Amino acid sequence: MTNPITYRTALEIAYHEAIVRQAYKDSVGVWTWSVGLTSATGHDVQRYKDNPQTMEHCLTIYVWALNNYADAVRKAFSGTAMTEAQFAAALSFHWNTGSISKASWVGMFKAGRMADAERSFKTWNKAGGKVVKGLETRREMEADLLFRGKWSADGTITEYTRLTANYTPVWSSAKRVNIEAALRAALGDEQPLDPGAEPTPAPPEPGLETRTRATVLAEINALVAEYATLEI
């Protein structure tokens, strides 16, 4: 598959988000769960109302949803080769905005107009027509990844551990938690991340490297001689 969801990609996007292990209401009252998932993803999140889940289950569904979002990113960049960093940045943008198909910076990027693409990319920092500091910071970090290959994730995510009576997060309950092991388990990847490592070759069959043609013929002759002495 072109541009699969890698451990590093999933970790990078989660770094910009927060996680709540039970269903909660976001700022506009939409039921949300895990790493910003709503029922619009095709996964009914209201089942988690008053029903906290393990970190691994939260991240397993997050990875499933990321794969669904990734299809739109692959389609938007069809015919354009992307590095892991570029794909991760574009997917992070789409996960946050849902607008990869209509963002003008995509066409600029594909045309090689990188300076214009970056300027356009960074304008996606508003909500309700006003610049939001959190979005501004996120776009800056995503731009560093997209245009300069600079990753940000440190293996942690902000978790909100308590909800109010109205099912909104208690902001003071926030804490940074490490999700590396749980995310590896969700991806089925239990190996440490080392993107520069070469695959380890399989060891040769014991003794195979010393068995020349002459050696093999000698072994055959010895077997024939042994067979001739058997009483049948």
Over residues 199-219, the mean pLDDT reads 41
pLDDT score, position 80: 96
What architecture is the 7-187 domain classified under in CATH?
Orthogonal Bundle (1.10)
Q: Identify residue 110 by its one-letter amino acid code.
A: K
**Annotated domain spans of the chain:** 7-187
- 94 φψ region: left (φ > 0), alpha (ψ -120 to 50), beta (else): alpha
Burial class, 67, CB count within 10 angstroms (exposed 0-12 / middle 13-18 / buried 19+): middle
pLDDT of residue 2: 84
What's the predicted TM-score (pTM) here? 0.79
- Confidence band for 31, pLDDT divided at 50, 70 and 90: very high
Give pLDDT, residue 217. 52
Residue 155 has pLDDT above 50, yes or no: yes
How long is the chain? 232
State the Cα–Cα distance between residues 181 and 169, nearest whole angstrom: 25
Residue 210 confidence (pLDDT): 38
Stretch among 15-24, 182-191, 195-204 having the lowest mean pLDDT: 195-204
pLDDT, average across residues 30-58: 96
Average pLDDT over residues 104-115: 98
Residue 224 scores a pLDDT above 60:
no
Q: What is the pLDDT of residue 27?
A: 85
Question: What pLDDT, on the 0 to 100 scale, is given for residue 225?
Answer: 53
User: In the predicted model, what is the mean pLDDT of the chain?
Assistant: 86
Q: What is the mean pLDDT of residues 79-99?
A: 97
User: Phi then psi for 212, rounded to 5 degrees?
Assistant: -80, 175
Q: Which two tokens stand for residue 167?
A: 């099912």
